[in-house]
Structure 1
């Protein structure tokens, strides 16, 4: 038979065991006085990865844009290949079939099914395309981004057209989130000139034969940083960037 002292000790022992179990449970959940590294998964080389809670920076879409990407519309009729509309009907105001292939390739470039866009690019929150001019120009700029806009569930903004590049940039820079602009190639250098304090200096002309480059403008403390990202979405695309003739 247990002694009276042993019987009195039993409740205390049970209480101690319960307290230890509760402490272990709380530690496993990350509650209590444990350090951030306790219970963390192994880090590189077998060490323990320190888990810390970093402050969350303000979301880009909460303020004026800090990233603008500019592309030329897809391939246009050249006398050998006609333009076709989205339904496949001949329309020389539209892109060629190659241009449509590029438009669909841009979907994977800016919004890949897996992962994130290639370095230097981001998913746009807003898309601008040149509005139609009196002679019909502008249709190809919209066709180029229509597949991407459909995928992202947004509508391309077309309030500005060829000849309104300064107004376009002024409006874009006041909008939130990353922005993509689809435009006529002859006017893209004018878009670049409308950005304040751009370095390095963008090329002064966009070649007639290049449809495969993205110009990017990233906000810095002193202005905007200019860069170029080859699209490489079609077999004929090249990995080189656009340069002024004197720099080539």
Structure 2
């Protein structure tokens, strides 16, 4: 089978947003580059959703998971632990190891790798880079209605799903909102620009 599904999700909640608390590592050590408690809750909710085993549903279990490298890939590149921390519960539930070969600023290389795959790919990344770097590199010149060019800064509850039947086929797109936690919504992004 040569079909490919790519699901792009933002890392879970961070400090400074609508939810209180400081960033904490998995062990509970304060870390400004880590998830807040609400983020760890979301990471667990993603694990339950993607680990349910329904390959025919909107959220099929991935056979590979990518997360932005939790360290800088160059002196001027930003980084955080949040994409990797968000990926860990999903990966553990599915007995996978998250691929962290690429970091912020290496999105074109990430896309070159994942478009060669088949099956289901789940990517956890920084929200601006998803819509400004990953999606354009994925679609190239293909225009799809509804694909956001901006990610609402307060939204951590969205999956951008791209499907194609075979390697040179056009992509289809859906914005998914599973409403996993209290306060999540299924409304589309407010700042959508097509």
Instruction: Specify the structure having the higher radius of gyration (Cα).
Output: 1
Change (3 A) 1:220 1:200: farther
Residues in 1 aligned to 2:149 and 2:187: alpha-carbon distance in whole angstroms: 17
Match for 2:28 among 71, 84, 88? 88
Determine if the alignment matches structure 1 residue 126 to structure 2 residue 64. Answer: yes
Higher helix share: 1
Give unmatched runs, 5+ long, in structure 2. none
Determine if the alignment matches structure 1 residue 235 to structure 2 residue 193. Answer: no
Residues in 2 aligned to 1:66 and 1:167: alpha-carbon distance in whole angstroms: 18
Please give the residue correspondences for 1:95-174 in structure 2 after superposition, counting only pairs within 5 Å.
95-112=35-52, 116=54, 119-131=57-69, 132-133=71-72, 137-174=79-116
What is aligned with 1:191? 134
Residues in 1 aligned to 2:126 and 2:65: alpha-carbon distance in whole angstroms: 15
- How far did 1:246 drift? 5.6
- How far did 1:86 drift? 0.3
Q: Deviations over 1:152-210 (max 9, x none)?
A: 11111111111111111110011232100000011011211111325225111111100
Give unmatched runs, 5+ long, in structure 1. 1-57
Q: Deviations over 1:116-164 (max 9, x none)?
A: 2683221100000001225762310000010110111111111111111
Q: Deviations over 1:68-126 (max 9, x none)?
A: 000000100117420111011211110000000000001111112xx626832211000
Determine if the alignment matches structure 1 residue 215 to structure 2 residue 160. Answer: yes
Contact 1:109 1:117 in 2 (8 A): no
More displaced 10-residue stretch of structure 1: 126-135 or 115-124: 115-124
Contact 2:152 2:191 in 1 (8 A): no
How many residues were matched structurally? 183
Aligned structure 1 segments of 4 or more residues deviating by more than 3 angstroms: 243-247
TM-score (norm 2): 0.86
- Measured on the aligned residues, the alpha-carbon RMSD in Å equals 2.1
Change (3 A) 1:88 1:205: same
Q: Deviations over 1:26-65 (max 9, x none)?
A: xxxxxxxxxxxxxxxxxxxxxxxxxxxxxxxx4xxxx4x5
What is aligned with 1:66? 4
RCO (CA 8 Å, sep 6+): is it higher in 1 or 2? 2
TM-score (norm 1): 0.68
Change (3 A) 1:119 1:108: same
